[in-house]
Chain A
C-alpha cells in the first residue's frame, strides 16, 4: 500500500475551515472487570471537506470507537478531535447534541429504522428533532425518499421492504436534514454485492451533489473503489492512509 506519510501532519490551526475532521492523539479505553482495555492508542486523522474516506481494518482495531468519537456519541480520554473546527468534547451536552443534530447524519450497519413507524416517519425524524414543522418535514422526507428511489414506498413499514431498500431508507434519513458530515458504519455488510454497490453509488452521488463529507467504516473490499482515500487501522492506531487502488488487498 502506498501510504500518505503526511496524513497526520497537519496542525489544528491549519485544519480549521479546511478539514471536515481533524483528530490528533485520540485515545480511548474501556473499563472491563479485568481492567482497562485501550481501544484507541493515539489516532491522528484528517478528513477533508467533501471527501469520501473509508476506515478499514480487522475487527476490534478501533474503527467503531473512532467514528463514535468523531460523531460525538462517545467522549475521548485524551487528544483532540475537531469537527468543522468544533471540539464536541468541550461543548456542554446540550450544545453537543444540537451540533450532532444539525451537522451529522448516520447510516448504521443494521439500518436502525424504527419498525413501528412508516418509512416516511422514519425519514422525518432528523427534521422533527430540528423542530421543522410536520408538513414541511413530510415534504422534505418525500424528496429524500425520491432521491433514493423509494418515493412510492413512503407509506410502507420497514418490514415490508427488502434489506437494500431499508438501507436506502436509512440513507434518506441520514441526508434529509442536509448534514455536513455523514458517518456510515458498515453500510453494505448486510447486503449482497450488487445491492451493496447500489447503496454505495447512491451514497457517493448524494455526498457529491450535496457537498457532504463521508466517513465509511467497512470490511467490504468490493466497495473500496468508491473511496477517495482509505485509512487502514490496526490495534487502535491509523497505520496508513492511501488511495483505493493502493488499498486493494489490505486486510480489511
Chain B
C-alpha cells in the first residue's frame, strides 16, 4: 500500500510538482539566508579563528572585540613574555592603509603585520609564492579573492587584471612588491587584505608611537590559564583572552551593536515563515483534496495505522526531494561563486538545521491533514 500511497501523490503531477517546488523554494530561501548569516557571523571572527597554534590574545584592556584595536607599545610583547606560564609571545599588527596602483587608483586595504622571525599568524592557503618570500624586502602577500576587482592591475592594453606575483604597489608612498597570493576567508570589512612582516608594516603605516595591535601568546604545557590571565591583567594592565573567548566576545559585540545580523536573522525567519507557509499549505491542500480517497480506503479496510504510514511516506518523500533539490541548488551556487562578493557559508549544522525545519514543515502539514482524515466520518463515502 505504500507504493499506492506514493503513486497517489506522484500521479497527481501538478500538485506533486507544486509541493516539491514549494519545498525546494523554501529550502533555497532558508538555506541562502542562513548561509549568509553564518558567513557574516564567521566573517566577524575569522581573523581570530584562522590563527592556529596559539592559546591567548592579549590586547588593550578597553578593546571590546577583534576590530576594536587600541594600539599598544611594542614593549608590551617583552612584558608578556616575562609572565610565568608564557612559553612565547609575538606581536601582530592589524590596520588600514591606502594602496595605490601604477595607474594612480587607490584602494583602502587591511594590512596585517606578522612577527618577523616566526611569521606566526600567516595565511593558510598560499596559491602563489611561498611563505618565506614574505621575508624578502618590500614583500607583501595579497588575498586574491578580496583583491579581485578592487586591486586590479592595469594590463597595458587599457584593461585590468588580477594581481600577480611581481606586481608592485605603493603603500603610503612605500614601494611594495607582491611576492605571494593566498586565499583567505572573507572578513567583515570585506576590503582587500595584505600580509607583510610586523616591522615592515610599521614602516608602511603612518608613524605613530604605538602600533602594536595584539600579542599572540603560547602557554607552557603546565600553565594555569586563569593564573596567566590574572597576572597579565593585574601586573601588565592588559586584557588576555583565550582564542575561544576572544572569538565569542567579538561575535557577541557584532550581534549586540550592529543591525546587520539582526536584519539577516529577521530575513531568515521571514524566509522560513513565507516558504514554510507556502509549502505547508500546498501539502495540506493535497491532503484535503484526497480526504475522500482516504475515507474510501478506510471504508475498504485500511487501518488508521496504515493511513498514518501512507501519509508519512508521502510527507517525508516530498520533503526530502524538495529539500535535496533546494540544498543542492544552494551548494551548487556556493561552489560556483567562491570568488564573487556573494557571501555564503554552507555548514553541516546549517544543512542539518534546514533539514530539520523542512521536515518539520512537511510533517506538520501532513499531520494536520492526517488529523482531518482520521477524524473524517467514514460514512462520507456514501454521500
Contacts and interface: CB of A to CB of B under 8 A. Distances in A.
A106 B7 contact: no
A177 B14 CA distance: 32
B301 A112 contact: no
Contacts of A73: 298-299, 378-379, 381-382
Contacts of B298: 73, 97
B334 to A, nearest CB: 36
B293 A112 contact: yes
Interface residues of B, number: 27
Contacts of A108: 296, 381-382
A112 B296 contact: yes
B142 to A, nearest CB: 59
Interface-central residue, B1, B11, B301, B304, by most chain A CB under 10 Å? B301
Interface in B295-331: 296-304, 306
A116 B7 contact: yes
Nearest to B302: A129
Interface in B278-297: 292-293, 296-297
Given A73-B378, A74-B379, A97 B7 contact: no
A121 B4 contact: yes
Nearest to A131: B1
Contact of A112 (B3, B8, B292): B292
A100 interface: yes
Interface-central residue, B11, B296, B300, B378, by most chain A CB under 10 Å? B300
A98 B12 contact: no
B9 interface: yes
Contacts of B306: 129
B383 interface: yes
Nearest to A112: B296
A185 B382 CA distance: 7
A106 B296 CA distance: 9
A117 interface: yes
Given A112-B293, A121-B7, A128 B381 contact: no
A2 interface: no
A67 B382 CA distance: 9
Contacts of A116: 7-12
Interface string B367-380: 00000000001110
A180 to B, nearest CB: 14
A117 B301 contact: no
B8 A114 contact: yes
Contacts of A124: 4
A172 B141 CA distance: 79
Interface string B334-354: 000000000000000000000
A68 interface: yes
B237 to A, nearest CB: 76
Given A74-B378, A108-B381, A128-B4, A100 B12 contact: no
Contacts of B7: 116-118, 121
A190 B10 CA distance: 29
Contacts of A71: 299
A101 interface: yes
A64 B383 CA distance: 8
A61 B303 CA distance: 30
Contacts of A115: 11-12
A225 B383 CA distance: 25
Contacts of A93: 304
B300 A134 contact: no
Nearest to B9: A116
B238 to A, nearest CB: 71
Interface string A95-123: 00110111010101100101111100100
Given A106-B381, A185-B382, A125 B293 contact: no
Contacts of B297: 125, 129
Nearest to B378: A73
A125 B382 contact: no
A109 B296 CA distance: 12
Contacts of A128: 1, 4
B14 to A, nearest CB: 10
Given A126-B301, A129-B1, A129-B302, A117 B382 contact: no
Contact of A98 (B10, B301, B377): B301
B301 A134 contact: no
Interface-central residue, A68, A104, A157, by most chain B CB under 10 Å? A68
A104 B11 CA distance: 27
Contact of A100 (B11, B299, B379, B383): B299
A106 B298 CA distance: 12
Contacts of B381: 73, 106, 108, 112
A34 B374 CA distance: 26
Nearest to A122: B4
A73 B302 CA distance: 12
Interface-central residue, B4, B304, B377, by most chain A CB under 10 Å? B4
Interface in A54-86: 64-65, 67-68, 71, 73-74
Interface of B: 1, 3-4, 7-12, 292-293, 296-304, 306, 377-379, 381-383
**5 A-B pairs with the lowest CB-CB distances in the bound complex, closest first:** A101-B301, A116-B11, A73-B378, A116-B12, A68-B379
6 contacts: A64-B382, A102-B301, A104-B301, A115-B12, A116-B10, A129-B300
Given A68-B378, A115-B11, 8 more contacts: A73-B379, A74-B377, A97-B298, A109-B382, A117-B7, A117-B8, A121-B7, A125-B297
